[in-house]
Amino acid sequence: MESKTIGVVGLGLMGASLCKALGAQGHRILGRDTDEHVQKYALLTETIQGELTEDNIPECDYLFLATYPGAAVETLKQLAPKIRKDAVVSDLCGVKQAVCEPCFALAEEYGFTFIGGHPMAGKQFSGIKYADGNLFQNATMILVPRKREDLFLVSRLSELLRETGFKSVTVTTAEKHDEMIAFTSQLAHVVSNAYIKSPTAAEHLSFSAGSYRDLTRVAKLNETMWTELFLDNAEHLGFELDCLIKSLQEYRDAIAAGDAETLKKLLKEGRERKEAIDTEWQDKK
């Protein structure tokens, strides 16, 4: 793909990693962050080639919003009049309905294209100092276009993103995205964060191995960001939490009653469910 001018708003982990990955492919990267120290660091480390301003936004072929969901919408409201009609705008937010609905409306009003985006990649740490140009290698990118969107524009954005290392691009709806992400990501963060609050956690040294590390890895979350994501997806996340609480109560009741038969049945069901899902996944690969 020929060199493009790409604007990125928000130079945290995801935004700065995208800048590094696309910059390595020869694209001109303009970036902006509300923290002036982050902005200066990005320029000093050549994560970006220049500052993204209202004056040069019309030069951007692509614009990515790598901020929290509410900030992404507010940013697009401010920048929309400056965006070229042939430009493609996307976001990197972890929820889609709260972002896509208002951004689709803005795109229609001002004549540019908005396609929702969510990279299935990340780290438990946040901030530009953890940015990595290889963060998206072999990951999946989820795209959420408007109904009846020009497939050429979706394909064009997909090709650009594949340059950063994404192995696949999944196109879906905002509703389906939020339903699935409540289970695959948000629920895991709630469980991990709650699990580590056990009073026993302080004494776990020398008594833990892989299970503890795996389950607690994402407890080190950014509470400000995840609070917004959870509340933006409250209905779907609430459903998943209700399912989990119901299942946990079944295990708790069986253990409290000393009911080995029921407990064994519950454990067997869980094992078989995991094996069936893994087999189905392997068959699709």
Residue among 72, 68, 18, 10 at smallest CA distance from 39: 10
Q: Indicate the pTM of the whole model.
A: 0.92
pLDDT score of 204 = 80
pLDDT score of 80 = 98
CA torsion through residues 272, 273, 276, 281, sign: negative
Q: Are 77 and 51 in contact (CB under 8 A)?
A: no
pLDDT score of 1 = 65
Query: Where are the CATH 3.40.50.720 domain residues in the chain?
Result: 5-172
**Both tokens assigned to 246:** 């119901």
Q: How confident is the model at residue 275 (pLDDT cuts 50, 70, 90)?
A: very high
Of the candidate CATH numbers 3.40.50.620, 1.10.3660.10, 3.90.550.10, 3.40.50.800, the domain formed by 177-284 belongs to 1.10.3660.10
Asked if the model's pLDDT at residue 269 lies above 70, the reply is yes
**Mean per-residue pLDDT for 233-242?**
98
Asked if the model's pLDDT at residue 247 lies above 80, the reply is yes
pLDDT tens by residue, 58-113 = 999 999 999 999 999 999 999 999 999 999 999 999 999 999 999 999 999 999 99
Task: Give the single-character DSSP code of 145.
Answer: P
Q: Which CATH superfamily is domain 5-172 in?
A: NAD(P)-binding Rossmann-like Domain (3.40.50.720)
pLDDT score of 53 = 96
pLDDT score of 285 = 65
Residue among 25, 23, 21, 45 at smallest CA distance from 139: 21
pLDDT score of 158 = 97
Query: Where are the CATH 1.10.3660.10 domain residues in the chain?
Result: 177-284
Q: How confident is the model at residue 207 (pLDDT cuts 50, 70, 90)?
A: confident
**Per-residue 3-state assignment (H helix, E strand, C coil) for 102-140:** HHHHHHHHHCCEEEEEEEECCCCCCCHHHCCCCCCCCCE
pLDDT score of 241 = 98
Q: For residue 50, what is the enclosing H or E element?
A: strand 50-51
pLDDT score of 107 = 98
Tokens 């050549």, residue located = 46
pLDDT score of 237 = 98
**Mean per-residue pLDDT for 34-51?**
97
Return the percentage of the chain with pLDDT > 70, whole number.
99
